[in-house]
Amino acid sequence: MSLFDFCLLAAAGALAGTLNAIAGGGTFFTFAALVSTGLSPVMANTTSAVGLAPANLASVAAYLPEVRQNYRRYAALAIVGALGGGMGALLLILTPASAFKTLVPYFLGLATLLFAFAPHIRTLGAKRRHISGSGLIGRVLEALVSLYGGYFGAGMGVMMLASLSLTEADDYHFINAAKNVWAAFIQVFSVILFVVWGITVWKSALIIMISSSIGGYYGVALARRIPQRLIRGFVILAGVALTVRFFLS
């Protein structure tokens, strides 16, 4: 690995850790950086998932009071996340590399659109929460999001918030804790499969693990001084650029 590649992965990991703690969208940057170092889209996807997994586990620890208080509801999400994440990861393993490369720009475009319209999606979900059938729709979405999270993962957090807005109360900490627990189980079970199948570049994953943890811990204070609208705009522009780049490649 060259010094440039090392610095690129370290910077992408630190940025991803910071963004995921504030607004989400960090996977865009670790995935793009890993592809830039020469990894195939499949290897970049799995290595990014492994590298960012510890940061999500740390987020669960920060919400232990909420987890203890609502463990039954979170347990249901954990089961859905584990099964869906494992199935999504297995589907990725069985997908030909050429087919996955073809799907990447569509996934990136979908994640970018969801990220751009996330506030409106959550508002719409809150309005429809008490409509008959919203609970069932929310459960179906939870299963689909878990499958997507194990398969690709970019934009997964936005999808989670959208589905949770259909079924849960307007308690920010409850929903955020639920999202973190859910994401942790999706990633843990998908990462186990990626590691068992040997489709992870550990040197790159370790750089992202360390830098994303540092970014998530120290970068939050700096990021809070920047208006979230600017942060979201930056992530959306990056998502658009990556989508175009992979469509043209």
pLDDT at position 124 over 70: no
Quickly state the pLDDT bin for 121 (edges 50, 70, 90): low
pLDDT value of residue 8: 96
pLDDT at position 209 over 70: yes
When pLDDT is averaged across residues 217-231 and rounded to a whole number, the result is: 71
Quickly state the pLDDT bin for 132 (edges 50, 70, 90): very low
In three-state secondary structure terms, 20 is helix
- Domain ranges in the chain? 3-248
Percent of the chain with pLDDT over 70: 85
pLDDT value of residue 25: 80
- pLDDT tens readout for residues 51-61: 998 877 777 77
Query: Could you give the count of Cα atoms lying within 13 Å of 26 in the half-sphere of its Cβ?
Result: 32
DSSP code at position 62 = H
pLDDT value of residue 172: 63
- pLDDT tens readout for residues 87-105: 999 999 999 989 998 999 9
- Please state the φ and ψ torsions of residue 96, each to the nearest 5 degrees: -60, 140
Kind plus residue range of the DSSP H or E element containing 131: none
Cα separation of 108 and 32, whole Å?
11
Alpha helices in 63-199 (DSSP H): 64-69, 71-94, 97-116, 118-128, 134-151, 156-167, 172-196
Query: Could you give the count of Cα atoms lying within 13 Å of 186 in the half-sphere of its Cβ?
Result: 33
pLDDT at position 202 over 90: yes
Cα separation of 24 and 79, whole Å?
23
When pLDDT is averaged across residues 70-85 and rounded to a whole number, the result is: 86
Contact of 211 with 11, CB cutoff 8 Å: yes
